[in-house]
């Protein structure tokens, strides 16, 4: 949710019909195209996705697709075949853990838990556990840039962490028009930007990693509407960038499909 943040006050901005109801309030003046704050997603292809996968993390590593899932007793880490959605291999978390976001770091994978303050490190190729870290607060989403892990915790802040020790190096506060945007969820670092799902929203925020300022939004409302989902928790939550192929993919919790969408301009 946006917690009251509206896309208002843009000089010369026009209504954005494709944005979710209640999230966008914009002056009714025709803008220049570059001024549009919301860019509708353009779907390039759709692939099967396990409709029983409560997606919490989604990422590529060396062209291979990985996913972490949530829910007590169902949480785990898996490698998935993109074109078929078939689970190639999987490791389950202990039943007491509620799995959250995940990302690759070198030949390892780091995965979060929701309210347990524990992150696990796995060998990417065998899923053998290599150790764990502790952190304060909740764990939601996880990605990385060239030097840091980047973690969300449901607030408007993103933490930049040492990949070797999980020690916090810095934080940014994510803002739209000077106001904090909370409930940042699954993350992906794409071509110098942090992309972030906003929980219970059809929007992906495009965040400047230096300042925390949201540059623009990607609107997935038409994609989610096409799935005709009945579960209110089956929300958009999964962004994966295949750097080798230069392709961007999205999915959601318990979604039956995974979509390739055009890279944002």
Task: Calculate the dihedral angle through the C-alpha atoms of 141, 260, 24, 254, rounding to the nearest 10 degrees.
Answer: -60
Output the domain CATH number for residue 49: 2.130.10.10
pTM for the structure as a whole: 0.86
N residues, the chain: 265
In a domain, 155, yes or no: yes
pLDDT tens digits for range 205-229: 999 999 999 999 999 999 999 999 9
Nearest to 136 by CA among 157, 152, 116: 116
pLDDT tens digits for range 12-66: 333 333 333 334 333 333 333 345 699 999 999 999 999 999 999 999 999 999 9
Q: Residue 163: which domain range?
A: 39-261
In a domain, 22, yes or no: no
Q: pLDDT band at 264, cuts 50/70/90?
A: confident
How far is 58 from 66, CA to CA, in rounded Å? Answer: 6
Rounded to the nearest integer, the mean pLDDT of the chain is 88
Sheet holding 168-173, edge to edge: 142-144, 149-152, 157-161, 168-173
230: left (phi over 0), alpha (psi -120 to 50) or beta: alpha
How far is 208 from 224, CA to CA, in rounded Å? Answer: 26
Antiparallel, parallel or unpaired: β 168-173 and 38-40: unpaired
Determine the pLDDT at residue 9. Answer: 34
Q: Give Rg (Cα) of the chain.
A: 18
In a domain, 27, yes or no: no
In a domain, 21, yes or no: no
Number of domains in the chain: 1
């Amino acid at each position: 949710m946006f917690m009251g943040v509206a896309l208002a006050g843009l000089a010369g901005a026009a209504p954005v019909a494709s944005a979710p109801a209640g999230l966008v309030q914009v002056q009714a003046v025709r803008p220049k195209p570059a001024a549009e704050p919301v860019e509708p997603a353009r779907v390039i292809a759709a692939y099967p996705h396990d409709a029983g996968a409560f997606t919490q993390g989604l990422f590529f590593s060396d062209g291979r697709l990985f996913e972490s899932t949530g829910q007590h007793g169902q949480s785990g880490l898996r490698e998935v075949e993109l074109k078929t959605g078939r689970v190639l291999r999987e490791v389950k978390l202990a039943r007491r853990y509620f799995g959250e976001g995940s990302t690759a770091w070198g030949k390892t994978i780091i995965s979060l838990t929701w309210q347990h303050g524990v992150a696990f490190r796995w060998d990417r190729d065998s899923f053998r556990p290599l150790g764990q870290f502790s952190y304060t607060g909740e764990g939601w989403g996880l990605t990385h840039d060239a030097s840091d892990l980047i973690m969300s915790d449901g607030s408007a802040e993103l933490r930049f962490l040492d990949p070797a020790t999980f020690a916090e190096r810095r934080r940014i506060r994510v803002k739209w028009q000077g106001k904090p945007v909370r409930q940042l969820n699954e993350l992906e670092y794409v071509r110098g930007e942090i992309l972030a799902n906003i929980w219970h929203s059809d929007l992906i925020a495009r965040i400047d990693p230096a300042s925390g300022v949201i540059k623009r939004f990607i609107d997935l409302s038409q994609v989610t509407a096409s799935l005709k989902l009945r579960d209110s928790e089956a929300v958009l939550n999964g962004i994966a960038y295949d750097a080798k192929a230069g392709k961007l993919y999205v999915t959601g919790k318990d979604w039956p499909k995974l979509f390739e969408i055009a890279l944002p301009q």
